[in-house]
Structure 1
Amino acid sequence: MVSDPKRAFELKGELCTLSVLRLQDTDMGRITRELAAKVKIAPGFFSNTPIIIDLKDLNSSEALLDFTGLKITLIKHGLVPIGVRNAEAKEQEAAIQAGLALLRNDPAEYSSFGNADNSRPQRRQWDPEPPPPPRKSLMITRPVRSGQQIYARECDLVVLAQSSPGSELLADGNIHVYGPLRGRALAGVHGDTEVRIFCQSLEAELIAIAGNYKLIDDAETSLKGRPVQIYLQEDHLMISPL
């Protein structure tokens, strides 16, 4: 009998861009109501979307979050909860019991969980980094189809056509779309807050820069269908005409 030389699987680490639910309250009633309102605005965005639960903004005096209830609520609204980050010891135990993974904090931004006073991780102070090398770009000349994802790693993304509903554009740098921008567009996916999104016609269902999201139905209605630029200003996503 000849043995099969192929392995049953490969286990490898990969970089994936995931949505983050950054909680600011443990009140499940309030969370459920606000989530239902978001789903009603853009149901397509919440369909089978993996999501991380981030507890960084919760006050340590808040009541313990009902992780099982939150998991059920997220699944009910189409989201797929992956795990929890920035959790204290008691929250870690509750998250594990609810079947959620424990995720590490961003090592470039936060210190480890092992704080002696059991407080939430604090931001580290880092020396200024040298200026980055000149940014290149990934150029796409054809329309981006529905269901297609394009990622410009360590560079800008330039699309010389339209992006279709259900498509996803991701870039570590800026995003330029010389046509209608539909679907999702996420710039600065590694945390660069200085990047921008430019398009000839704003028709996207979701836009994001450095993890700061906005559903297009939440945006200024007067700018839909117009040439715009999108950028961050004091952690707020701004949209202005070109």
Structure 2
Amino acid sequence: MPKSIRIQKTDFSLPVIQLVDYDISKISDELKQFMPISDKEFLSIPCVLSVEGEELEPTFFAQLLESLRQFGFLPVGIKTDNTSFIEQAKYAGLAVFNQKMNQLDLFDIALQNRKNQELEALQEAPETPKFLTHHRTICSGEQVYAEDCDLIVLGDVEQGAEVIADGNIYIGGSLLGKAYAGNSGLMNIDEISVRAYSFEPELVSIAGFYQLQEDIPQKYIGLSVKVSFEDQKLQYALE
């Protein structure tokens, strides 16, 4: 799948406005020198704010942003240790820059953390078997279920026994009981089949579509048969 974005790790430098005084009127007076002479020269200047960690009035940050924007500056982020400023910056949609690390390194760390999380998830996730193998005949009254996988029976399925699989069913001996393939309904029904070396089922089902023995064409009974679902009905083929 083509990517929707491309990340370019370029050190795109921005001017940093470091506050050394916290009087809004004085800050505004000094910002006026950057005002354009005419509207034709007006450009918004992206910048980063650097604020020391002292406690300030709750409204100071909002006033500061308004003053900066009024005089042509467009704050995009803030460098500070002040918890209150950090919360206000996030609320205003500004980035919070790390004081102790290069910002490009932060992107590498984020990618590595994502890879580590994905690797941990793969390691913790239990491996789902692709098939369940049953190594003996399934007797009358017994039921064998292969959850989320195929079922292979190395023996017979006697009359009165049931075999159920969320995937395919392969029977190396005689199928005399009932077979239910595609039980979960989550797998592609076109890929589900029931196969038996000797086909004489009481009932055969694929994803809920079933036929009793009396409805199955007699020419397939007792032979090696593959059952699949095509054209909205069960189809039989000799193997």
**TM-score normalised according to structure 1 size:** 0.44
CA radius of gyration, larger in? 2
Q: Say which structure, 1 or 2, has more relative contact order (CA 8 Å, 6+ apart).
A: 1
